[in-house]
Amino acid sequence: MKSRRRARGFTLIELLVVISIIGVLVGLLLPAINSAREAGRRAQCQNNIRQLALALNAFAGRKNAYPTAGTWFELPTATDPSTSVLLSALGSTSGVPPAVMNRAGYSWVEEILGDLDQQDLANNWTKHLPYGWTTAPDIATQPNFVLGSTALGVLRCPDDNNFTTNEGNLSYVVNGGFTRFPDFPLVWSGYQADGLPATGGTQTTFMSWDGASAPSSFDKGVGTKLGVMFLNSVWDPEFELSPAGSGTTLPPTLANRQPPWGSNKTTLSAITDGMSATLLLGENTLVGFSTGGPWSGNVPTNWSCPLPNFCMFIGSDNICGPTGACTGVFQPPASYNNSADDPAWRFANVIGGFENIGYGQVLTLKGTFPFVTSGHPTGSNFAFCDGAVRFISNTIDGTVYSKLLSPAGSKLPLPYKQLPVSQDSFTQ
């Protein structure tokens, strides 16, 4: 009788070797898989921001000017920038006054809804009412707030790690230059962490380009050459008589007019540095939907909110030092042949100032970072005025970054005038 041979199995050592090999292979594959996923998300994010740039350019093609970053209903009593609702919208160290939110109209997103194939939202938007107001009935039932709470895929980057499903999220902001309100420029002191007070100054420090103690036309002339889209305001008689308004009738001299400080727009011909070298859009994960906080007057926000900290980005105003005295930091060149850029421009993006690109990743409170930040590991996506989209590193040289922000840096007065930017310094 033949004996059956016993089948030989794996020994314990052989099993351990096989498991170890599989573990090594998985360890090698996971980074590649994660890298591929990140590349896919970044590509989708770039496609979104490109669509927004095309829509903004379509608007500019019709109007010969880019839309406003945010539109507000001006106070009937406003006589100059210091009494404007726009100055109140910038807030103070403690945040934005809740009452000012009743005059918050709409952001740049509302202006281009039709160009984003969202004509139904555009048709139903009531431009004589704020995006949401604090008086009765509840803000969640306000018609514009309901529309602004609609989730639109083109407005959210897949790498935005600070969004809420089925809400009016926003991951992209427009280029405001170096100040949130050029007619009355106030500096922003970066937050080191959520809930900490501002460092190196207050949010009410005046940023002066000419050394004057009050805002001047010189300040405005510089500020509007350093950005593309700004806050605007309008005296709207229908708003004043609406439930959110003052209940007063505007005089004919004001009705449907914009004040001089609330009508800043960039025309296509004003981009003298070239559309391929001027930023139009960037990323920010600390804008869009929120249930309310100090930087929105404790009022909920969405993509239609026109607050500067929720609709636009700026370069670090550390270029003018902690006191905002620009003339004390920028110095006239030794010779007026424009052979070199002023060294102060490099502070537009310096690590350690709490205002550099990407620092906002350590923050979570919406509205506390009016600079560029994203969910990408090493940089952010930007769209240029010519529609091109590029991924720019968090560590881009501040002088280069300042030139990309400025549509007319070559037209700035000395000592602020900028030399042309080399495209090799920001392309990859």
Instruction: For residue range 316-329, list pLDDT tens digits in order.
Output: 999 999 889 999 99
How many Å apart are CA 297 and CA 294, to the nearest integer? 5
> 203 is in which domain, residue-wise?
20-425
pLDDT beyond 70 at 34:
no
* C-alpha distances out from residue 259 to 84, 85, 105, 238, Å: 9, 11, 16, 17
Mean predicted confidence (pLDDT) in 117-146: 89
Q: So what's the pLDDT on residue 183?
A: 97
Indicate whether 309 belongs to any domain. yes
Q: Whole-prediction pTM value?
A: 0.90
Indicate whether 9 belongs to any domain. no
Q: How many domains does the chain have?
A: 1
pLDDT beyond 80 at 9:
no
CB 170 within 8 A of CB 303: yes
Adjacent-strand bridge partners of 383: 281, 389
Q: So what's the pLDDT on residue 126?
A: 95
Q: So what's the pLDDT on residue 2?
A: 54
Per-residue model confidence as pLDDT tens digits over 331-372: 876 655 667 899 999 999 999 889 999 999 999 999 999 999
Indicate whether 14 belongs to any domain. no
Indicate whether 12 belongs to any domain. no
Indicate whether 71 belongs to any domain. yes
Indicate whether 356 belongs to any domain. yes
More confident residue, 194 or 274: 274
Mean predicted confidence (pLDDT) in 19-45: 75
Q: So what's the pLDDT on residue 339?
A: 76
More confident residue, 338 or 300: 300
Of residues 71, 313, 357, 377, the one with CA closest to residue 171: 313
pLDDT beyond 60 at 274:
yes
pLDDT beyond 90 at 18:
no
More confident residue, 41 or 395: 395
Mean predicted confidence (pLDDT) in 405-409: 97
Indicate whether 13 belongs to any domain. no
* Identity of residue 249: T
Secondary structure of the chain as H, E, C letters: CCCCCCCCCCCHHHHHHHHHHHHHHHHHHHHHHHHHHHHHHHHHHHHHHHHHHHHHHHHHHHHCECCCCEEEECCCCCCCHHHCHHHHHHCECCECCHHHHHHEEEEHHHHCCHHHCCHHHHHHCCCCCCCCCCCCCCHHHCHHHHHHCCCCHHHCCCCCCCCCCCCCCCCEEEECCCCCCCCCCECCCCCCCCCCCCCCCCCCCECECCCCCCCCHHHHHHHCCCCCCCEEEEECHHHHCCCCCCCCCCCCCCCCECCHHHCCCCEHHHCCCCHHHCEEEEECCCCCCECCCHHHCCCCECCCCCCHHHHEECCCHHHHCCCCEHHHHCCCCCCCCCCCCCHHHHHHCCCCCCCCCCHHHHCCCCCCCCCCCCCCCCEEEEEECCCCEEEEECCCCHHHHHHHHCCCHHHCCCCCCCCCCCHHHCCC
Residue 229 burial (C-beta neighbours within 10 Å; 0-12, 13-18, 19+): buried
Q: So what's the pLDDT on residue 16?
A: 81
Out of 66-70, 152-156, 232-236, 330-334, which region has the weakest mean confidence (pLDDT)?
330-334
**Mean pLDDT over each residue of the chain, to the nearest integer:** 91
How many Å apart are CA 116 and CA 169, to the nearest integer? 15
pLDDT range class, residue 12, cuts 50, 70, 90: confident
Q: So what's the pLDDT on residue 270?
A: 97
pLDDT beyond 90 at 204:
no
Share of the chain above pLDDT 70, in %: 92
How many Å apart are CA 163 and CA 65, to the nearest integer? 31
pLDDT beyond 70 at 55:
yes
Q: So what's the pLDDT on residue 265?
A: 97
Indicate whether 377 belongs to any domain. yes
Q: So what's the pLDDT on residue 200?
A: 58
pLDDT range class, residue 32, cuts 50, 70, 90: low
pLDDT range class, residue 128, cuts 50, 70, 90: very high
